[in-house]
Amino acid sequence: MEIQEISKKNLISGAFLAFEGIDGSGKSTQIQMLAAKLRERGVRFYTTMEPTDSPIGSLIHQIMTGRIKADNRVIAALFAADRLDHLLNEVDGIAAKIADGISVISDRYYFSSYAYHSVDMPMEWVVQANEQSSAILKPTATIFIDVDPDIALERISRNRFHKELFEKKSMLVRVREKYLEAFERLKDSENIIMIDGSQTPQRISEEIWQRVCEYFVLK
Ligand code: ADP
Ligand code: TYD
pLDDT at 216: 86
Rg (CA), the chain: 17
Using an 8 Å Cβ cutoff, are 184 and 178 in contact? no
Ligand 1 mutation pick, 23, 27, 29, max ligand atoms within 8 A of CB: 29
pLDDT at 160: 62
- Nearest Cα neighbor of 83 from 49, 117, 46 is 49
pLDDT at 219: 63
Report the distance separating Cα 46 and Cα 35, nearest Å. 9
Q: What is the mean pLDDT of each run of 10 residues along the chain (219 residues)?
A: 43 84 97 97 96 98 96 97 98 95 97 98 98 97 97 84 63 97 98 98 98 84
Q: Is any ligand 2 atom within 6 A of the Cβ of residue 19?
A: no
pLDDT at 11: 41
